[in-house]
Amino acid sequence: MNINETLLNKISHHSSEYGFQNYDLQDFIETEPFYKKQKNAINLIQYIMAKHGKDKFRRHFANLAQFECGIRNLKPTHRDHVVHAMFSFILGIAINENYLKSSDNCVDPFQWKLASLFHDIGYPIQVASRLLKPFTGETNEIGKTFKSHNKNVNFKIIPEGFENLTNSKNSFDLIQKRLDEWGIQIDAKKEYNRMIDSGDIDHGIISSLAVLNVIDLMYQEYNPERIYGDVRENGFNFNQENFDNDIISSCSAIYIHNLSAECFKNRIYRSKAPLAFLLRLSDCLQEWDRPSDENISGFSSNHFDIEFDGNDLIFRIDIPDNDVKDQIIEKIKNEISCLDCSDVKINPLPNPI
């Protein structure tokens, strides 16, 4: 039982479609210690995206890895999101090719690259917002000891300008249109405003806006007329149709991937929104090799496995500590409860003889 071995076997025939070499993924999985695995992940992401002219994102992930290493010293209980992105990418390919394809809901490989590899790029901003809360909380507690105290202090991180694109376009409008097309009843601007009002930054929303903002600048640079035709620069195609279809779809999936299940009035259906479905599912299932202060080495890949049986996806967790195992199973089930995934089985009981 080793999910990494299973995944490599399941996706080995799809390397050319998704832009990787099998031996590179094998090397990534086997790399130790963890900080070297992070560097390996960054280099792999650069390699995978380079053919699309988007290798400049490498420095964003380099900064994310460095930031996370520094933050771990301050608040070590937070989990890695750099290596996690690579594992989510690998897991998603297996699910896409062995589960979604069986129901004719396969996700485009480029859309999956963009959504999976950059869905957590805004995580440092979420961490920063949460680091402020203990400080303000302690300040307010001290203030209550004085008779003159009559109001609390509060810090808010309010990102400005992410949503403003070139040609007077607005990210919220573009994302909202795609969510409506997918039949997902989420008000994008309302969720953003609620995030700002709460002072608790959602990294999914920030990741989406940041990626869309940067790629919009790339397209404007190489296709200033934003024409729907073959527009090539250094061998890369910046056709506006690609932006409207692939880029907006990927960023819309990123926007909602971390929202709580309670935010969704209806479920995310793979038939209508396969990319959003795949990102949420892969992100929630990827629980192995994610170190934290509570579990320094993370859960071993030997305790997880995945199989595809007809139209069913079966995800198995075999952590020796039953209480911990039950907590993880309950967490995953809650997170994917907003998906139309009755044929996703988490540790199903064996059929009676």
Beta bridge partners of 170: 164
Tell me what pLDDT residue 67 has: 60
205 pLDDT above the threshold of 60: yes
Q: Are 284 and 332 in contact (CB under 8 A)?
A: yes
pLDDT digits (tens, 9 = 90+) for 91-114: 999 999 999 997 889 999 999 999
Mean pLDDT across the stretch 297-326?
94
Query: Which position has the token pair 């301050």?
Result: 74
Mean pLDDT across the stretch 165-191?
97
Q: Which residues contact 165 (CB under 8 A, 6 or more apart)?
A: 171, 174, 212, 213, 216
Tell me what pLDDT residue 56 has: 61
Where are the domains positioned within the chain? Answer: 3-143+156-346
349 pLDDT above the threshold of 80: no
Q: Are 61 and 84 in contact (CB under 8 A)?
A: no
pLDDT digits (tens, 9 = 90+) for 3-29: 999 999 999 999 999 999 999 999 999
The CA dihedral of 25, 30, 32, 37, to the nearest 10 degrees, is 10
What is the band of 143 on the pLDDT scale with cuts at 50, 70, 90? confident
Mean pLDDT across the stretch 315-329?
95
Q: Which of 209, 5, 216 shows the shortest CA–CA distance to 94?
A: 5
Q: Which of 121, 127, 79, 114 shows the shortest CA–CA distance to 288?
A: 79
> Token pair of 17, please?
């479609």
What is the band of 124 on the pLDDT scale with cuts at 50, 70, 90? confident
What is the band of 74 on the pLDDT scale with cuts at 50, 70, 90? very low
Q: What are phi and psi of 114, to 5 degrees?
A: -65, -45
Q: What's the predicted TM-score (pTM) here?
A: 0.91
Collapsing DSSP to helix, strand or coil, 57 comes out as: helix
165 pLDDT above the threshold of 90: yes
> Token pair of 236, please?
């890369």
75 pLDDT above the threshold of 50: no
Distance of CA 230 to the CA centre of its chain: 30
Tell me what pLDDT residue 280 has: 98
228 pLDDT above the threshold of 90: yes
Helix residue ranges, H only, the chain: 3-11, 15-18, 22-30, 34-50, 58-74, 82-95, 109-117, 123-143, 171-181, 188-198, 203-222, 240-242, 248-256, 274-285, 322-335
Q: What are phi and psi of 345, to 5 degrees?
A: -110, 125
The residue that leads in pLDDT, 216 or 159, is 216
Mean pLDDT across the stretch 277-295?
91
Q: Are 254 and 119 in contact (CB under 8 A)?
A: yes
What is the band of 50 on the pLDDT scale with cuts at 50, 70, 90? confident
Highest mean pLDDT among 52-61, 94-103, 270-279: 270-279
Tell me what pLDDT residue 313 has: 97
pLDDT digits (tens, 9 = 90+) for 58-73: 666 556 555 655 554 4
Q: What percent of the chain has pLDDT over 70?
A: 89
What is the band of 226 on the pLDDT scale with cuts at 50, 70, 90? very high
Cα 56 from Cα 42, distance rounded (Å): 11
> Token pair of 151, please?
């109001």
Q: What are phi and psi of 291, to 5 degrees?
A: -70, 150
Tell me what pLDDT residue 294 has: 74
Tell me what pLDDT residue 52 has: 77
Beta bridge partners of 345: 314
